[in-house]
Amino acid sequence: MHSIFISGAAQGIGAAIATLFYQHGYKVGIYDINIDQAQALAQQLGTRAKAGLLDVSDYSQWQHTLSEFKAWSGEINVLVNNAGILYSGAFEQTDITAHHRTIDINVKGVLNGCHAALPYLQKASFARVINLSSASAIYGQPDLVTYSASKFAVRGITEGLDIEWQKYGIRVLDVMPLFVQTAMVKDMDAGSIKNMGVHLSAEDVANQIYRQVQVKDSIFTPTHQPVGFKSKILFSLSKVSPQFVNRMSNMFLAKRE
């Protein structure tokens, strides 16, 4: 029986991932800084779910929780680096501590997770890493500057490790959704969300992640997977459009009334 370890799994996309994989027979690790919610979800799902406390910016917590989960599950097959935060609004009007916290969780959290999990993934019968990137990693987003930058970093980590860890037989992939109907986008202060709308559900993202875990590895398996029609269009256009066209498009999409 395969297992999956999910960071930031107590609610939103993480909870949807946990629920879907549990339904498909996986042993599920629900790890989150909100331990009460994580435990409630694990209890709701059943005996193949285990909850634990995890602050992804703390490497020692990663080491402890991964060791604990491996002892319970037998092996770790899938790591999903889902935990993330978002601050929106004008860059200069956002406190510098919020910018730093975004990097600590969205970037360092992924680095910590990948680094701490590798010894377990190497020993597993099957292993895959799925990182949560974003359509914000297609082109830098105004009013979401640090969040967008953090997702560019996740994109780079994913690309580099997907090549580097071929020697271990481990694929490292990511998903790139546009805005998702979760608490993260509630009261978000960015022109792009007003112009693009919120059309994806947490379940849409979870289903894409499940497909990426199940797909057979080949040279044609894409490292990045946009989620939703709009994300796919933006991702495709960014590959062929001149830079000034991408810039103008994003200026239009981010325009406020």
The DSSP annotation for 96-140 comes to HHHHHHHHHHHTHHHHHHHHHHHHHHHHSSS-EEEEE--GGGTS-
Q: Which of 31, 120, 147, 210 does the annotation list as catalytic? A: 147
**147 an active-site residue?**
yes
Confidence of residue 188 (pLDDT cuts 50, 70, 90): low
Contact 7, 31 (CB under 8 A): yes
Q: Are the CB atoms for 202 and 182 separated by under 8 Å?
A: yes
- Asked if 174 and 132 count as a contact pair (C-beta separation under 8 A), the reply is yes
213 pLDDT above the threshold of 80: yes
- pLDDT at position 235 is 64
Beta carbons of 168 and 120 less than 8 angstroms apart: no
Q: Mean pLDDT throughout 204-227?
A: 91
Relative to beta strand 3-7, strand 27-32 is: parallel
CATH number (domain holding residue 116): 3.40.50.720
Q: How far is CA 195 from CA 65, 227, 252, in A?
A: 40, 18, 9
Distance CA 191, CA 136 (A): 13
Range 52-70 average pLDDT: 98
Going by pLDDT thresholds of 50, 70 and 90, the confidence category of residue 136 is confident
Q: What average pLDDT does range 195-215 have in this prediction?
A: 83
Domain that holds residue 101: 3-253
pLDDT bracket for residue 195 (50, 70, 90): very low
pLDDT of residue 244: 45
Report how many domains make up the chain: 1
User: How many Å apart are CA 223 and CA 243, to the nearest integer?
Assistant: 22
